[in-house]
Amino acid sequence: MKKRVGKILFWLCIVVCVLGVAYIAIYYFRKDKNEDVYQKVQKQVEEKKQEEDAEDEIPIDFASLKETNPDIYAWIEIPDTNVNYPIVQSADDDSYYLNHTIDGQEGYPGSIYTEKVNAKDFSDFNTVIYGHDMKDGSMFKDLHKFEDADFFEQHDKVTIYTENECKTYQIFAAVVYDNRHLMYSFDNNNISDRKAFLESLSESRSLKNQFRSGVEVDENSHIITLSTCIGGQPDKRFLVEAVEIDE
């Protein structure tokens, strides 16, 4: 009897190991395939930039991108980081792009996305843009570079392209924050909530927090919040805050 039980346990262990290896293999296969999707569109954008005149304000071929996915509506770039991606928004499922790439492939690294509570023209007081904190440095991993005081001081711009315009934002804060849903916690249409959100940023306490003095931002501004996770701290988020400026 003991022999039989031992054999059963042995084969169960073999099956579990095989399934585990298969799962890991599938995960990395999907991840590599999904990363290829982003490299392809990034290459197209770079080629488009080189083709266009220097005066062309919008070097992104949105018509081509929308053939890949009509949910693509903007593009975000941050100098000296890997943040150089299309922004998507699902009309039906806010969590869809958490684990789907821009071409609909399931799995990591997901996409850079906003939720439908935010307008696609960035006219809201606060537009929250989400991206994974990927260990390989992709997606929003490089937001954590802004934890460093020198990097924060030397890098203060975010560029967002839409089909109709190029928007420039100045980074005014990078903070460790709690994991509350910002759009449900602070109403964009409520002046008091706008003020409360800005105050909550300065109330955050962490040695990683950075603030830029002299930047004009108030309840009438248009800001973006770039939100990503913090490894090992599921109850925290790292936020990079930037305000739209005229350039």
Task: Output the domain CATH number for residue 80.
Answer: 2.40.260.10
Q: Between residues 10 and 176, which one has the greater pLDDT?
A: 176
pLDDT digits (tens, 9 = 90+) for 96-118: 999 999 988 888 899 999 999 99
Q: Is 108 part of a structural domain of the chain?
A: yes
Q: Is 27 part of a structural domain of the chain?
A: no
Average pLDDT over residues 137-157: 97
Residues with catalytic function: 132, 229
Q: Does residue 52 register a pLDDT over 60? A: no
Q: Is 240 part of a structural domain of the chain?
A: yes
**CA separation, residue 174 to residues 13, 67, 183 (Å):** 47, 35, 18
Take residue 140 and report the two structure tokens written for it.
């929003």
Return the pLDDT at 30: 47
Q: Which run of H or of E encompasses 229?
A: strand 223-229
Q: Is 20 part of a structural domain of the chain?
A: no
Q: Is 42 part of a structural domain of the chain?
A: no
Q: Does residue 31 register a pLDDT over 70? A: no
Q: Is 56 part of a structural domain of the chain?
A: no
Q: How many domains does the chain have?
A: 1
Q: Does residue 17 register a pLDDT over 50? A: no
CA distance 207 to 193: 26
**CA separation, residue 82 to residues 35, 85, 141 (Å):** 13, 9, 8
- Cis-peptide, bond into residue 234, ω within 30° of zero: no
b/e map of 165-176 (b: 16 or more CB within 10 Å)? eebebbbbbbbb
Average pLDDT over residues 1-14: 58
Q: Residue 105 belongs to what domain range?
A: 62-245
Q: Is 171 part of a structural domain of the chain?
A: yes
Average pLDDT over residues 145-154: 98
**CA separation, residue 117 to residues 184, 195, 196 (Å):** 9, 19, 19
Q: Is 100 part of a structural domain of the chain?
A: yes
If you write DSSP's letter for every residue of 59-93 in order, what string do you get? Answer: ---HHHHHHH-TTEEEEEE-TTSS-EEEEE--SS-
